[in-house]
């Protein structure tokens, strides 16, 4: 939609474009981006809005524009192709295909004029057009070879079911977990938090693994690195100090200068990990961050129907970050006498810290601030009152600026991630509004996204229309959200729906030769290959989430083969999880859970909400949990559990339960004895 008025004759991906390419004997030029992508906007302004460049594109190519968030399946395939060709990838992704849809050349951003040994976009277009006419056979051979490579480029071991010793995913030797942990810590930034070098991404799955590793082992260093990473992000410019919420990543190593786009999935994942960090540490910073981020999501990304929009742009008025940065004089005029303290707290100076303006951050801890910055006469409560009032004034002022563009499409998978974040935040903080959001959102997803056949669920929804068959990630995240929603509500219907969807996944996404799942439905015909996505990247792999789902559902419905399949998935990846944990963070957390005892917890009682909320507020690494206010024989965990006036709490393993207790603190002590192994 953003490119609708370009002079380029853009087509959507589909039969019309493919037929036109075949009929006119032209290559396809597929350009993939997303609404909040800064460099996509740059290339549009420089090249796609240029009449001469558009003439070359229209004359020699059939031009296809794809939103990668609407069609992640196509993005995955053609991103892999470009990475194989060039060794790197990113967006905008520009790839050239034969009329049959097979890639033979591509790249990312191309400048309008030659720059730093990079050819101009016009030169690339002319070169490809000439090669397609003069060396067609070579390009066809290259496309066939590249497509064959993409079809075979899965990790070793994923094309077969493992048996014997290789099938033992839950390695009883905890030394392997120690090795995995040490590999993670090799990439840890012990000064500024996070992992690796700039640009820095939140890496929530690795932080989560460290929190869970600390839970099982008591390793202080694991908790310290997890909290350091969260603290530095929250205190840095990647976190919106005025309005709450996180940007996608930091361009520097100190988390100061963000890439200003705000994505729904990032904020969902960070709410989840902050909720767990709060449960473990009870550190006020995490509670505040959850509240502020959820407030941001409710204010700027939640639709009137209770769905969640996709993203906010990095740019406004053609400038990246303009909406979010401040000049000191501007802050002085808004805050008056409170400005001195506010500017000192948020590092605001006349010189600025980014292109002459200020990205708000918190450069010093509160204790140092009060002691060394000349505000010692104020106590912490007075300081926070001044800062809170200042943030509210700046937010009100900022809302009058030209706002960044809103990507208002609604994605099933990202909404399911946010639904899980609502459940996690409710469990951690007990804020009823978050529970209500989760329930309303799930009603929306189950109502507006459902279809029939290959469209059992749709992937994307906008302006009353759902479209594109849902992908594995959509289904996996949705099942996970349903499992978590039944935990905070006690409604068994969510579990029955989760089972129904899981059975659809098994029938339509399974690979016969392995325990894994394909990314696309078996009857989807508009992709050149079916991929199995296993890496935990910016969002979790649908396969890693399915491994968690399989285990939970296996216990909840007494289906041991499902647990064996989850074991088999982890077994096939044991080597790469240990060797490359940063790319397999969620897998690593599940492998860790399988290495220890996974307990089963049941709470029954006619009035159990207070006890349930007390239990949910506690951090327990991985467990299967169910509650009931009436006797229920439908679910194995609930059978034979009496329902009395006062709550009863059962701790079980393989459906064998200890005597019930009445207090959550007693349960937690018993849980620690069950889950932790004293070496």
| Count of structural domains, the chain | 4
Residue 337 structural domain: 324-400
657 and 531 in a single domain? The answer is: no
Give the residue among 490, 621, 476, 499 at the shortest CA–CA distance from 555: 499
* Domain annotation covers residue 521: yes
| pLDDT above 70 for 16 | yes
- Do 197 and 297 lie in one domain? The reply is yes
Q: What is the pLDDT of residues 449-464, one digit of tens each?
A: 999 888 899 999 999 9
Please state, in angstroms and rounded to a whole number, the distance separating the CA atoms of residues 118 and 603.
63
**Residues facing 558 on adjacent strands:** none
- CA distances to 506, 517, 520, 584, 674 from 510, in Å: 5, 4, 10, 21, 34
Span 268-273, average pLDDT:
98
627 and 652 both lie in a single domain: yes
CA atoms within 13 Å, Cβ hemisphere of 570: 28
Q: Give the residue among 204, 209, 201, 202 at the shortest CA–CA distance from 184.
A: 209
Reported confidence tier of residue 160, pLDDT bands at 50, 70, 90: very low
pLDDT of residue 379: 78
Hey, how many other C-beta atoms are within 10 angstroms of the C-beta on 536? 25
CB 211, CB 280: distance < 8 Å: yes
Structure tokens at 602: 């049941």
pLDDT value, residue 616: 97
User: Do 442 and 512 lie in a common domain?
Assistant: yes
Confidence of residue 679 (pLDDT cuts 50, 70, 90): very low
Q: For 212-220, what is the mean pLDDT?
A: 95
Which residues 6+ apart lie within 8 Å of 507 measured at CB? none
In a domain, 169, yes or no: no
What pLDDT, on the 0 to 100 scale, is given for residue 604? 97
Contact residues for 295 (Cβ-Cβ < 8 A; gap 6+): 244
pLDDT class of 273 with cuts at 50, 70, 90: very high
Is 518 a domain residue? yes
Q: CA separation (Å) from 345 to 186, 216, 239, 373, 540?
A: 33, 37, 15, 9, 36
- Please give the Cα distance from 295 to 437 (Å, whole number): 12
pLDDT > 90? residue 677: no
Same domain for 373 and 310: no
Instruction: Give a yes or no: residue 530 inside a domain.
Output: yes
Domain boundary residue among 561, 595, 629?
A: 595
Q: How do 624-628 and 648-653 pair as beta strands?
A: unpaired
Are 311 and 447 members of one domain? yes
Q: Which of 166-170, 427-431, 674-678 has the lowest mean pLDDT?
A: 166-170
Residues 331 and 193 in one domain: no
Q: What is residue 171's predicted lDDT score, i.e. its pLDDT?
A: 45
Q: Examine residue 667 and state whether it is found in any structural domain, yes or no.
A: yes
When pLDDT is cut at 50, 70 and 90, the band that residue 673 belongs to is confident
Mean pLDDT of 513-523: 95
Q: What is the pLDDT of residue 378?
A: 74
Is 4 part of a structural domain of the chain? no
Alpha-carbon distance 69 to 407, whole Å? Answer: 10
Residue identified by tokens 């790319």 is 583
Percent of all residues in the chain with a pLDDT value above 90, rounded to a whole number: 87
Q: Which of 522, 455, 526, 524 is nearest to 19 (CA)?
A: 526
Same domain, 303 and 353: no
| Three-class SS state of 634 | coil
Integer Cα distance of 229 and 190 in angstroms: 9
Inside any domain, residue 158: no
Residue 459 sits in a domain whose CATH number is 1.50.10.10
Domain end residue (candidates: 577, 595, 613): 595
Q: For the segment 414-450, what is each residue's pLDDT rounded down to a tens digit?
A: 999 999 999 999 999 999 999 999 999 999 999 999 9
**pTM for this predicted structure:** 0.93
> Strand ranges (DSSP E) for 199-308?
249-250, 258-259, 262-263
Does residue 102 contact residue 147 with C-beta atoms inside 8 Å?
yes
Q: Residue written as tokens 């399915």?
A: 546
Task: For residues 492 and 424, state if they share a domain.
Answer: yes
pLDDT value at residue 342: 95
Q: Please provide the average confidence, as pLDDT, over all residues in the chain.
A: 93
Question: Distances from the Cα of 344 to the Cαs of 291, 334, 348, 516, in angstroms?
Answer: 24, 15, 6, 53
Q: Assign residue 34 the CATH number of its domain.
A: 3.40.30.10
With 60 as the cut, is the pLDDT of residue 311 above it? yes
Does residue 167 lie in a domain region? no
What integer is the mean pLDDT of 375-404? Answer: 90
Task: Specify whether the CB–CB gap between 53 and 125 falls below 8 A.
Answer: yes
User: Do both 26 and 58 map to the same domain?
Assistant: yes
Cα–Cα distances in angstroms (integers) from residue 675 to residues 105, 594, 645, 668, in the given order: 52, 11, 29, 10
Examine the domain organization and report whether 95 and 25 are in the same domain: yes
Residues 606, 587 within the same domain: no
DSSP letter string over 76-129?
HHHHHHHHHHHS---SSEEEEE-TTS-EEEEES---SS-BTTBPPHHHHHHHHH
Q: Is the pLDDT reported for residue 179 higher than 80? A: yes
- Where is pLDDT greater, at 241 or 455? 241
Condensed to tens digits (0 to 9), the pLDDT of residues 334-344 reads 999 999 999 99
pLDDT tens digits, 29-69: 999 999 888 889 999 999 999 999 999 999 999 999 999 99
Residue 11 has pLDDT above 60, yes or no: yes
Evaluate if residue 170 carries a pLDDT over 60.
no
C-alpha 603/C-alpha 661 separation (Å) is 10
How confident is the model at residue 374, as a pLDDT? 63
168 pLDDT more than 60: no
- Which of residues 400, 416, 439 is at a domain's end? 400
Q: Is there a contact between 571 and 449 (Cβ–Cβ < 8 Å)?
A: no
Please compute the mean of the pLDDT values over residues 381-391 and round it to a whole number: 92
């Amino acid at each position: 939609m953003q490119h609708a008025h370009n002079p380029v004759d853009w087509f959507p991906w589909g039969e019309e474009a493919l037929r036109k390419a075949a009929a006119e004997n032209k290559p396809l030029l597929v350009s993939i981006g997303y609404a909040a992508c800064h460099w996509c906007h740059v290339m549009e302004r420089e090249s796609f809005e240029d009449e001469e460049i558009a003439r070359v594109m229209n004359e020699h190519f059939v031009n296809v524009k794809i939103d990668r968030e609407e069609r992640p399946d196509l993005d995955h395939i053609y991103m892999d192709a470009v990475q194989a060709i060039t060794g790197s990838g990113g967006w905008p992704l520009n790839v050239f295909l034969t009329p049959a849809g097979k890639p033979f050349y591509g790249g990312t951003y191309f400048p309008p004029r030659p720059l730093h040994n990079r050819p101009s976009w016009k030169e690339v277009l002319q070169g490809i057009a000439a090669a397609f006419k003069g060396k067609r056979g070579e390009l066809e051979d290259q496309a066939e070879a590249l497509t064959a490579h993409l079809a075979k480029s899965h990790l070793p071991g994923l094309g077969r079911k493992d048996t014997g010793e290789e099938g033992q995913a839950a390695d009883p030797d905890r030394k392997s977990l120690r090795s995995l942990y040490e590999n993670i810590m090799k990439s840890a930034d012990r000064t500024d938090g996070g992992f690796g070098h700039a640009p820095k991404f939140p890496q929530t799955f690795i932080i989560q693994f460290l929190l869970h590793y600390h839970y099982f082992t008591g390793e202080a260093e694991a908790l310290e690195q997890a909290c350091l990473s969260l603290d530095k992000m929250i205190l840095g410019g990647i976190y919106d100090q005025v309005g709450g919420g996180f940007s996608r990543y930091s361009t520097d190593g100190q988390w100061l200068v963000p890439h200003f786009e705000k994505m729904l999935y990032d904020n969902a994942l960070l709410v989840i990990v902050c909720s767990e960090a709060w449960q473990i540490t009870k550190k006020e910073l995490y509670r505040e961050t959850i509240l502020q981020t959820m407030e941001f999501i409710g204010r700027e990304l939640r639709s009137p129907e209770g769905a969640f929009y996709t993203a906010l742009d990095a740019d406004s008025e053609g400038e990246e970050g303009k909406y979010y940065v401040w000049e000191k004089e501007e802050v002085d005029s808004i805050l008056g006498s409170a400005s001195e303290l506010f500017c000192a707290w948020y590092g605001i100076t006349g010189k600025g810290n980014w292109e002459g303006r200020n990205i708000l951050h918190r450069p010093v801890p509160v204790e140092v601030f009060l002691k060394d910055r000349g505000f010692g006469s104020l106590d912490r409560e007075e300081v926070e009152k001044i800062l809170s009032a200042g943030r509210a004034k700046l937010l009100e002022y900022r809302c009058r600026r030209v706002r960044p563009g809103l990507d208002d499409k609604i994605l099933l998978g990202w909404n399911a991630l946010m639904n899980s974040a609502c459940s996690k935040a409710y469990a951690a903080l007990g804020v009823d509004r978050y529970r209500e959001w989760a329930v309303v959102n799930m009603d929306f997803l189950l109502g507006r996204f459902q279809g029939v056949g290959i469209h059992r669920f749709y992937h994307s929804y906008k302006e009353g229309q759902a479209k594109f068959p849902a992908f594995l990630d959509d289904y996996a995240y949705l099942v996970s959200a349903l499992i978590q929603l039944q935990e905070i509500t006690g409604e068994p219907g969510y579990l029955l729906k989760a089972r129904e969807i899981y059975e659809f996944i098994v029938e339509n996404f399974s690979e016969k030769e392995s325990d894994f799942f394909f990314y696309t439905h078996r009857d989807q015909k508009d992709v050149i290959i079916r991929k199995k996505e296993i890496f935990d990247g910016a969002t979790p792999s649908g396969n890693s989430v399915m491994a968690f789902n399989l285990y939970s559902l296996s216990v909840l419905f007494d289906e041991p083969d499902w647990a064996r399949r989850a074991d088999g998935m982890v077994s096939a990846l044991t080597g790469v999880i240990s060797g490359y944990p940063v790319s397999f963070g969620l897998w690593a957390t599940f492998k860790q859970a399988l290495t220890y005892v996974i307990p089963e917890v049941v709470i029954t009682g006619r009035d159990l909400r207070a006890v349930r909320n007390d239990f949910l507020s506690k951090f327990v690494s991985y467990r299967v949990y169910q509650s009931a206010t009436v006797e229920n024989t439908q679910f194995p965990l609930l059978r034979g559990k009496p329902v009395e006036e006062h709550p009863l709490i059962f701790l079980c393993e393989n459906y064998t339960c200890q005597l019930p207790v009445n207090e959550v603190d007693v349960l937690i002590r018993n849980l620690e004895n069950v889950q932790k192994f004293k070496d």
